[in-house]
Amino acid sequence: MPDTHALARRFRVGYLSHVPHQSFLDTAAQHPEMEVVRIPLEQPEEAVIQALAGCDAYYVMASRDELPKPFHVGKALLARLPRLLMVASTGAGYDTVDPAACTEAGVLLVNQAGGNAEGVAEHAVGMMLALLKRMPEAHAAMLAGNAGDRGALMGRELRGRTVGLVGIGNIGTRVAEIVRLAFSCRVLACDPYLDAATIAARGAEKVEMPQLLAESDIVSLHLPLTPESRHLMNAEAFARMKPGAIFVTTARGSIHDEAALHAALTSGHLAGAGLDVWEQEPPPPDHPLLHLPNVIASQHTAGVTHESRANITRIAALAFADAANGRLPPRIINPQVVPRFAERWAAAFGRQMAV
């Protein structure tokens, strides 16, 4: 049963425009200690911010190009939301949130890591298979009327190849499992935050980036966008990849340098690329990478499945429900803020949190 003190002042959660799936609202409705408020975007900016200022928590869109800049969670917005205690992104990523600014303001930040792992992992492996079998090139050749010589489109098989994963969290671990068990692949992983034993338990060999690039037939990205990872895959990195290798990313735009990737593909050094994420989303129709026959492209849809959306929104609603009931939710991005967050929560609700 919900705590009666919590019911005295409900924990108000605000979201802008829409939620990714009805599962969020259905799950939240099972927790009367929580009040969910929709804030329309079809009103003046000031009205939106005033509505957010009356909320304890903000369920924020994770895609940076879908959310108007004034409503990204940074110092400027947080300064206008003194009541705000918690922010949760609508996905595993949190590109629209500045974690350091949240910590400075005493605001807890959580994401939904792992909730869309299956959808994204299947998408990444699907891109690997399509590129190795040269499906985009075959499609382009048929459209152009140049598909008479099937031998010119000879592909390769995934079985027995070396797959290099840059990052091996929830999604990378599932990719490793699929390619290892279904295709007998050797899996390498570069992840500075995990030791060799942990990476081995997740089905891969721990290596450093130069070795991964040099030995992998396929390089697949599964890491967040941070100042350290921005343009990690630059011209030098692509040059270090094996000739004829394939590059796949379902991570975040800006981790790879799009101009450098285009050069590596048009020079023939790389055989193909599968791109679900972009510097600008969606990319403009005249983007050079969209017009290469050896590129397969999607619009940040790897995790956009019915199952993944239902799962991540349910997880988010449960995280807000934890906070509403004075419990710390899982998947905290800025754990250093917990003591101050707990103090602010206690001041708002008149009792101590269970931390």
Residue positions annotated with a catalytic role: 252, 281, 300
3-class DSSP state of 279: coil
Q: Which of 244, 265, 251, 181 is nearest to 221 (CA)?
A: 251
The 3-state DSSP class for residue 11 equals strand
183 in Cβ contact with 158 (< 8 Å): yes
DSSP 312-335: HHHHHHHHHHHHHTTB--S-BS-G
Partners of 292 in the β-ladder = none
Distance CA 178, CA 185 (A): 9
The one-letter amino acid code at 280 reads Q
| 346's tokens | 């206690």
Q: What single string gives the DSSP state of each residue in 176-224?
A: HHHHHHHH--EEEEE-TTS-HHHHHHTT-EE--HHHHHHH-SEEEE---
**Is the link from the previous residue into 210 a cis peptide, with omega within 30 of 0?**
no
Residue type, 74: G
Q: Pull the structure tokens for residue 140.
A: 């382009």
Work out whether the CA dihedral 11, 12, 15, 20 comes out positive or negative: positive
Overall size of the chain counted in residues = 355
What is the C-alpha to C-alpha distance for residues 193 and 175, in angstroms, rounded to an integer? 18
Beta strands in the chain (DSSP E): 11-16, 34-39, 57-60, 86-89, 108-110, 162-166, 186-190, 205-206, 218-221, 245-249, 270-275, 295-297
**Which tokens is 298 given?**
């999607």
Location of structure tokens 């009805």 = 22
DSSP class of residue 97? B
